Structure 1
C-alpha cells in the first residue's frame, strides 16, 4: 500500500493543519484537553483509543507544540498534558467543528452536548467570518491568493 504524501511542505495552510491535527484521534485529544482531560489514562478512558495510538498522537501533538507534558498537579508520579498557547489557539477550530456538528449532525430534539458561556449559561454565538465592517462574509465574497 503506498504511503500518504506528507503535507508539511504544501503551500496551503489547510493542508498543513490537517497534516498536524487532521486525524480523528488528534482532534479528539485536543477537544478533551479543552475539557480539562490531561492524563494518559483519562484520555484513553474518554476516547476508547488503543494505548499505542494514543501514545503516538500525544507524541505528535507535543512535537507540534500543541500539548506540553508536565508533572501531575497532584504531586503523583504521573504526568499531565496541557495545551500550550499554540494549542489554545485551536479553540476557534474546535468551536467551529462543534457548532457545525450541532447544526447538521443531530435530528431535531436529539440530545447532544453544547458549548455554553460559563458566565451566562447560554450557548455561545455561532462563529462566522465577518468583514472589517462586521457584516457576514459568505464564501463567494472571498478568494485565496498565493503569497510570495
Structure 2
C-alpha cells in the first residue's frame, strides 16, 4: 500500500509523481512549455490560488524543472524558464493530453499539437531504442534495471 509520499517506492513512475504529481504542477509546466508563460501573472491565468501557485512554482524550481530568473528591467520580479529537466516533460504532457482527448473530452480536443513545419498532428509513440520499431503493449516486457534494490512496487 502506498503511503502519503512515493519517494521511498522502488518505482520511477512513483518517484516522478513525487516531483510532478501535485495538482496544478503539470499544467504550470504545460503553460511554460507551450503557451510561453514565464511570469507569475501568466500562471495565475490558470485560476490557481496565489498561495498554491507560489508553492507549486517553488517546488518546480526546487526540483530543477523550472529556473527562477530575475528580470533585468524589474529585478524585484522573477521570471521562470524551463530547464532541460522540464523540457523532457513535453512528451509526457502531449501523451497525457492525447489520452484526455480520447477519454475525457466529449466535445473533442480543446487544443491540438501540430508540427510547425508541415502542420501534421504530433503523435507520441513508444519506440524501441535499438531497432526503431513502434511497439504496442504486447511487445513490451519489464526487466530489472540498475536501480532495482528491493522488490518492485
Structure-to-structure mapping, 1:64-103, within 5 angstroms:
64-72=63-71, 75-76=73-74, 77-103=76-102
Aligned equivalent of 1:144: 142
C-alpha RMSD of the superposition: 1.8
- Asked whether the 8 Å contact 2:20–2:26 carries over to 1, the reply is yes
How far apart are 1:42 and its partner, in Å?
1.4
* Deviations, residues 31-81 of structure 1 (Å, cap 9, x unaligned): 010121011111012x101011101111110010000000236x2242111
Q: TM-score, normalized by length of structure 2?
A: 0.82
Structure-to-structure mapping, 1:103-122, within 5 angstroms:
103-107=102-106, 110=108, 112-122=110-120
More relative contact order in 1 or in 2 (CA 8 Å, sep 6+)?
2
Runs of at least 5 residues in structure 2 that lack an aligned partner in the other structure: 149-153
How far apart are 1:18 and its partner, in Å?
0.7
Counterpart selection for 2:121 from 116, 120, 123: 123
- Asked whether the 8 Å contact 2:126–2:134 carries over to 1, the reply is yes
Q: TM-score, normalized by length of structure 1?
A: 0.85
Q: In 2, distance between residues paired with 1:83 and 1:102?
A: 25
How far apart are 1:115 and its partner, in Å?
0.9
Query: Structure 1 residue 29 and structure 2 residue 28: aligned?
Result: yes
* Deviations, residues 71-102 of structure 1 (Å, cap 9, x unaligned): 236x2242111101111111111111122222
Structure 1 ranges of 4+ moved more than 6 A: none
Q: In 1, distance between residues paired with 2:28 and 2:119?
A: 25
Aligned equivalent of 2:5: 6
Count of residues paired in the alignment = 141
